[in-house]
Amino acid sequence: MSPSREPRLIRRGVFWLLLLGPLFFLSYGLANNHTAGRSDVGSLVFGWESRMPLWPWTIIPYWSIDLLYGLSFLLPRTRQEMDRHALALLTAQLISVSCFLLWPLRFTFERPELGGVFGWMFDVLMGFDKPFNQAPSLHIALLVIIWTMFARHVQRQPWRWLMHGWMALIGVSVLTTWQHHFVDVPTGALAGFACVWLWPHRGQLPWQQVRLARDAKRWRLALFYTVGGLLCAVPAVAFGGVWLWLTWPAVSLALVALNYAVLGAGGFQKCADGRLSNAANWLLAPYLAGAWVNSRLWTWRHPQADEVCDGVYLGRIPGRGEQFAAVVDLCAELPCHVQHSAPTQAASAVGYACFPTLDLIAPESPLLHQAAVTIERLRSQGPVLVCCALGYSRSASAVAAWLVLTGRCSDARQAEALIRKARPGVVLHSAHRQALQQLGTQP
């Protein structure tokens, strides 16, 4: 059941539309007119695009985004969701228009004369739109933001599938109406997901979590991922063509570097249900694929979780077929697909708790204290899996904290010895031991 709507939201939505509408036409039109007078406007088009069909009827889904833009302001349930949706749309506009002015591109195909209703719709469009505002496609950036809003609120079938189908058709229409070249589409999607990541519909905003890392190891890892991002970006810029796809892993690794340097685990936007936000999933997809493969390669000889004692298991992020009554998850960078062993257990939130921690970084003592208390609480539901990407470090320190705080072990050294007996590959460094030694100072 969806939450009730806060009062006066419709009025607030109308206010945002009255603000964003004129701003859109003014900034878009000015960028068009300015670029039309420049002599240094290039183009970026692949040879295969000459075979792209022109489907005049797709001008209908192309135009429909204007209607969906307005309707999207009817969906938010809270002022925060409304404001952040509007700010995401505004940010997409600022990003795209800035790129149009700094790196202008021109659409190169000449559209033939079209008659009938579709031809009239094209004529109206071209009365306002010029072939200069290309990458990143503002149409696609806005589509990503609007699509995210509708996907969050349209849950009933078959309306949900119909919605997804129409949104996908809008995305295709930017090519089949000969409004954009291909490069505009992924760059527009990147801009759109960046805006959704910058303005999540709930929780803290990314820059509200900005704190310079004090741990030297975090800065070393940030540098490592920065170098990886540059190694991807250089050939993309130097060679173009198919190498441009390396822009995606470059952005992904840059965001991971930013998380280690200033944003912390919150930059991965892992939700209370174990999933990463939609925007984080797309922006980080190349890194996430590598992290998942890495976790499986390191644990392929020992994929199973190990019982430490009293129904508490230690292991890697569970796969879809692995079942536990409850899961305590310390992994920030990978989603956790919770499966319950008890069929009567209704919701994953009951048997799942997440304490996101950066990979290769020791959890802080207060977080270990919270994790330990949660492990003990969830034990009443049955077997508890305490996990991270590999099940050897972050999760091991949480189990050690549980052993000490519940009196099962007298100190961190004894807890570590018990864990190693159950799972010999455990890796706890001095930073983990120091955090465990500080547990006694926690309230």
pLDDT of amino acid 441: 55
Strands, E assignment, 134-209: none
- Examine the pLDDT at 355 and tell me if it is beyond 50: yes
Residue 349: pLDDT band with limits 50, 70, 90: very low
Whether 130 shows a pLDDT value over 80: the answer reads no
Listing DSSP states for 217-254 in one string gives HHHHHHHHHHHHHHHHHHHHHHH-GGGGGGHHHHHHHH
The pLDDT value given to residue 143: 98
d(CA 423, CA 170): 52
Structure tokens at 70: 């307005």
Q: What 3-state class would DSSP assign to 42?
A: strand
Residues of the chain with pLDDT > 90, as a percent, come to: 75
Q: Which residues of 362-375 are buried (b: 16+ CB within 10 A; e: fewer)?
A: bbebebbbbbbbbb
Choosing from 195, 354, 388, 409, the catalytic residue is 388
99 belongs to the catalytic site:
no
The dihedrals phi and psi of 294, each to the nearest 5 degrees, come to: -60, -40
Taking alpha carbons only, the member of 282, 339, 319 closest to residue 151 is: 282
Tell me, what's the pLDDT at 440? 64
Q: How confident is the model at residue 79 (pLDDT cuts 50, 70, 90)?
A: very high
Strands (E), 145-302: none
Structural domains of the chain sorted by starting position, each given as residue range(s) with its CATH number in brackets: 9-35+43-199 (no CATH), 216-297 (no CATH), 304-338+350-440 (3.90.190.10)
**pLDDT-derived band at 356, boundaries 50, 70, 90:** very high
pLDDT band at 8 (very low <50, low <70, confident <90, very high): confident
Pairing of strands 352-357, 306-309: unpaired
Q: Which residue has the tokens 């540098």?
A: 223
Phi, psi of 275 (to 5 degrees): -95, 155
Q: In what order do the strands lie in the sheet with 352-357?
A: 306-309, 312-316, 384-388, 326-331, 352-357
Asked whether the predicted pLDDT for residue 128 surpasses 80, the reply is no
Q: Answer whether residue 95 shows pLDDT above 70.
A: yes
Task: Taking residues 79-107, report their average pLDDT.
Answer: 92
Confidence band for 347, pLDDT divided at 50, 70 and 90: very low
Task: Tell me the mean pLDDT in the region 316-324.
Answer: 84
User: Residue 157: what residue type?
Assistant: Q
| Global confidence as pTM | 0.90
Confidence of residue 105 (pLDDT cuts 50, 70, 90): confident
Residue 321 has pLDDT above 80, yes or no: no
Which pLDDT score is estimated for 2?
55
Would the pLDDT of 36 be above 80? no
Q: Are strands 384-388 and 326-331 parallel, antiparallel or unpaired?
A: parallel
Long-range contacts of 5-13 (CB under 8 A, 24+ apart): 5/76, 5/77, 6/77, 6/78, 6/79, 9/76, 9/77, 9/78, 9/79, 9/82, 10/74, 12/79, 12/82, 12/83, 13/73, 13/74, 13/76, 13/82
Taking residues 320-337, report their average pLDDT.
90
Token pair for residue 4? Answer: 């009730």
pLDDT at 35: 79
Alpha-carbon distance values, 34 to 96, 134, 138, 181, 343 (Å): 15, 14, 17, 20, 63
For residue 344, what are its two tokens? 């009567």
Amino acid occupying residue 183: V
pLDDT one-digit tens code per residue, 133-168: 788 999 999 999 999 999 999 999 899 999 999 999
| Nearest of 224, 359, 229, 335 to residue 282 by alpha carbon | 335
Instruction: Fill in the DSSP letter of residue 259.
Output: I
In tens, the pLDDT along 205-215 reads 998 989 999 99
Range in 131-140, 192-201, 327-336 with the lowest mean pLDDT: 131-140
pLDDT, one tens digit per residue, over 257-293 is 999 999 999 999 999 999 999 999 999 999 999 999 9
Q: Could you tell me if 410 and 353 are in contact, meaning their C-beta atoms sit under 8 angstroms apart?
A: no
Mean pLDDT, the chain, rounded, equals 91
Q: Looking only at Cα atoms, what is the longest distance across the chain?
A: 84
Give the pLDDT of residue 43.
Answer: 84
Neighbours of 412 (CB within 10 A): 22
Q: Which pLDDT score, from 0 to 100, does residue 3 have?
A: 62
Contact 142, 28 (CB under 8 A): no
Tokens representing residue 279 in the block:
């925007």
- The continuous run of DSSP H or E covering 354 comes out as strand 352-357
